Structures are given as structure tokens and as C-alpha cells.
Chain A
Amino acid sequence: AQKVTQAQTEISVVEKEDVTLDCVYETRDTTYYLFWYKQPPSGELVFLIRRNSFDEQNEISGRYSWNFQKSTSSFNFTITASQVVDSAVYFCALISNAGNMLTFGGGTRLMVKP
């Protein structure tokens, strides 16, 4: 069975603060893929990143960075110098080679105030 936990249901920060969204996952499979999606107030789901279980290298894309640690089964997402446009619900998700379903965490609502 697969499970994704996003313990932070809601985070509020002031613009320009850094913020980290936590994601902890459970799977028995050794080959799996982790994802982050963004759901802005307009409602669509936007793909941000995909990571496979054999690649623990951290990734940076502009103000976004991701920290994958197999030892703690975590795939955390950091936004540096947050902006109001970052306000959204962010979802972490997992799929494994053995399973065939993308399992989502409950989402973290990020509010960035000016």
C-alpha cells in the first residue's frame, strides 16, 4: 500500500519569506516516483516536478527547490523569497512501479501575504 502525508494543512507567510512544505511517503516498493503539483486559486493542477527513487540529488528551479531523502522517506519542497503568486494548494504524490495508481497527499494550502 502507498501513502503520502502532508502534515501541514495550512501555512501562512509574509512575502519574501522562505517556506518549506513537508511531504512524507510510505511504499514497500524500491522503484517509485514522487511528484509535486500546484493548484492555484483558479483551480487547475499544474505539474511541478517528478523524481525517481534512485535519484536523491536535490533539485533547484528558480525559487523552487526540492530535498529528497530516502532515509526519512521525505520529499520536501522549499520556496525561497515567496511571492503572493505562490499562494496555492500544493500536493505531493507518489506512484510505484508495482502499483499503478498515483496517490496524493492531502495538500498544503500556502497563503503568501503582501
Chain B
Amino acid sequence: DTAVSQTPKYLVTQMGNDKSIKCEQNLGHDTMYWYKQDSKKFLKIMFSYNNKELIINETVPNRFSPKSPDKAHLNLHINSLELGDSAVYFCASSQDTGATTDTQYFGPGTRLTVL
């Protein structure tokens, strides 16, 4: 009965590789997000999608491409991985039918390590 799930939980890869992180929510929410948490624990939004449409794209390199096949899924694909991409990536979702201020519920995070 997990609300927001992410796979994988850990991802270790070499520089230059392409990788994907998957996110699914079973809360029936309309909006999903990706956040990046750096080594100093600072959390910053990367993208948000409302009903499969991109709403926020926060100056993220275009090596990062979110894909939302349906409103319950928001996957993050990263091309040509760099050392600086090492971080914890969190997926989140919120109800947001009409309002953009609903509570966001987070997945367990994916720790990405680029070697």
C-alpha cells in the first residue's frame, strides 16, 4: 500500500552512462514532481507535471528528461551522467486539482552515485 514509490533505491553507474529512475503514485494525485537533494541536504525542485503536462522546469540541464506516460507515473531519464549528478532524487505527488499548494508526499528517494 505504498503511496509514492521509486525504483531503484540505489543506483551506481559510470560517468557518461544513461540511466532512468521510475516513480509511481497510487494516491490518485494529479501532480507529480522531481526534486534533487545534494550532499548538503539542500532540496530543490527540478520538474513538476500536472496531468501529464510539464508545469515547472527549473533550469535543469537538458540531459535530464522527465516522462509522464500517465498521471500516476513520472520517470526521470538522465543522459551522459556526470559526477555532479550524484545526489538523492526524490519523487513527490500532490492532489492539486485547481490549487497548486496542496501537500506534497514524497517517495523514499533514489541515491544516485556517478563514478
- Which A positions have Cβ atoms within 8 angstroms of B? 32-33, 35, 37, 39, 43-47, 50, 89, 91, 95-97, 100-102, 104, 106-107, 109
**In the docked arrangement, what's the CA distance between A95 and B88, Å?**
22
Query: Among A46, A96, A97, A104, which residue has its beta carbon within 8 angstroms of that of B42?
Result: A104
Is A43 a contact of B109 with CB atoms below 8 Å?
A: yes
- Which B positions have Cβ atoms within 8 angstroms of A? 33, 40-45, 48, 55-56, 58, 88, 90, 92, 99-101, 103-109, 111
Is B108 a contact of A43 with CB atoms below 8 Å?
A: yes
Q: Known pairs A32-B101, A97-B99, A109-B41; list 20 more (Cβ under 8 Å).
A: A33-B101, A35-B103, A37-B106, A43-B88, A43-B108, A44-B106, A44-B107, A44-B109, A45-B92, A45-B106, A46-B106, A50-B103, A89-B41, A91-B43, A95-B100, A95-B101, A97-B101, A100-B48, A104-B43, A106-B41
Q: Which residue of A lies closest to B44 (CB)?
A: A104
Is A44 a contact of B103 with CB atoms below 8 Å?
A: no
**In the docked arrangement, what's the CA distance between A15 and B52, Å?**
46
Is B41 a contact of A102 with CB atoms below 8 Å?
A: no
**In the docked arrangement, what's the CA distance between A88 and B107, Å?**
17
Q: Which residue of A lies closest to B96 (CB)?
A: A100
Q: Which residue of B lies closest to A39 (CB)?
A: B41
- Closest chain B CB from A4 CB (angstroms): 10
Q: Which residue of A lies closest to B111 (CB)?
A: A43
A-B contact list, 15 entries, CB within 8 Å: A35-B103, A37-B106, A43-B109, A45-B106, A46-B106, A89-B41, A91-B43, A96-B101, A97-B99, A100-B56, A100-B100, A101-B48, A104-B42, A106-B41, A107-B41
